[in-house]
Amino acid sequence: MAYRNAYHQNVLWEHAKWLAEELAANDKPDRVYEFCDFMGYAYFALRHPAIKDRTVVRVHTPYFMASTRPPGWKARLEKRWGNYRERFCLSRARHITTPSAAFVRERLPWLSGWEHVPNPLPPEPAVLARNASSVCRILFLGRVEPRKGVHILLRAFAELAKENPDITLTLVGAAVPGPLSRRVREVCDKPPEAARGRLTWEPPCAPENRDALFSRFDILAMPSLWENSPYAYFEGMAAGLLCLGSRTGEMKEAAAAFGGLSAAPGDEEDWLKALRSAHALWLDAAAREGLLTAQQAYLRERRDAIPGQMMDYYKRVVEGK
């Protein structure tokens, strides 16, 4: 009965056990096993005496933090089971790598003994040609859900729209079912009068169409309430957009490193100030180019350093340090 009521979780459990046995059976002393977005797959590997000390768990956004409470007791049972496995793996792992050390300190303070390895960044930056426009076009790229802070961005934009008629905001991403998505849809369909005709919501953009999407915009706004490694933020930087993010996770660390624009997570007033600053920067060609150059230099430095950092880290894992 338990197997049938949580079929997918039990299949995952069997896969995880089989994988750990296969890794152990073919193990060599210089091998490191890394589990990414593991959903509990590391569970048996971390319990196996031969490979547990060389098993690395990489944390992006754990399922137990990102998902909402599902309907139905079976779905809730599966979710609780999955949450347990993830927490077990995080607490037992000797080696935990993460895109953002700040994210772990902020959101997972109960973890200890982990080591930070920077996250891989987008490919070699190739700044895209912008479509010429006298209007400052702001893009939000990501799922429309409470954690992404879209509601904060909408309210700040509504105030900014009263001050300046030459600014637009476009949301691009899927709606996560819930009251927030419904409210965002209502606002986009019937925006405040000052924002009428300048606020839109488009469906998700496939990865192969990202370049064409980025070329239509000038500023990327990422108002997440909390974040680990927002790939869209770095993709926007690589594409040559001015990137404005919340002071959380890897966005906080990156903005501090290259002098970028940022705002306090969930703070509508601070986001309004940051949007004003971003618009002023966009109007000042020299200042804009200076920040874009700093963004590109940061990406290049990070990308060039990561292979050596990864190899040094894995060497320490193999040596048991």
Condensed to tens digits (0 to 9), the pLDDT of residues 213-241 reads 999 999 999 999 998 878 899 999 989 99
Query: Facing residues of 31 across strands?
Result: none
Q: How many CA atoms lie within 13 A of 147 on its CB side?
A: 15
Cβ-in-10-Å burial (0-12, 13-18, 19+) of 203 comes to: exposed
Condensed to tens digits (0 to 9), the pLDDT of residues 197-208 reads 999 999 999 988
Check the CA dihedral 65-66-68-74 and report its sign.
negative
Q: Where are the beta strands (DSSP E) in 143-272?
A: 167-172, 199-202, 219-222, 242-246, 261-263
Between CA 175 and CA 227 the distance in angstroms is 18
* Token representation of residue 107: 């959101």
- The CB density around residue 231, as the number of other CB atoms within 10 Å, is 17
* CATH number of the 136-301 domain: 3.40.50.2000
Task: Return the minimum-mean-pLDDT range out of 9-13, 145-149, 263-267.
Answer: 9-13
Domain residue spans of the chain:
2-97, 136-301
Between CA 101 and CA 118 the distance in angstroms is 8
What's the pLDDT at 130?
66
Confidence of residue 318 (pLDDT cuts 50, 70, 90): confident
Query: Facing residues of 175 across strands?
Result: 144
* pTM, entire model: 0.85
Condensed to tens digits (0 to 9), the pLDDT of residues 165-185 reads 999 999 999 998 889 899 999
* More confident site: 70 or 112: 112
7: pLDDT strictly greater than 90: no
Q: Are 249 and 226 in contact (CB under 8 A)?
A: yes
**The total number of residues written for the chain in this structure:** 321
Q: Please compute the mean of the pLDDT values over residues 294-303 and round it to a whole number.
A: 90
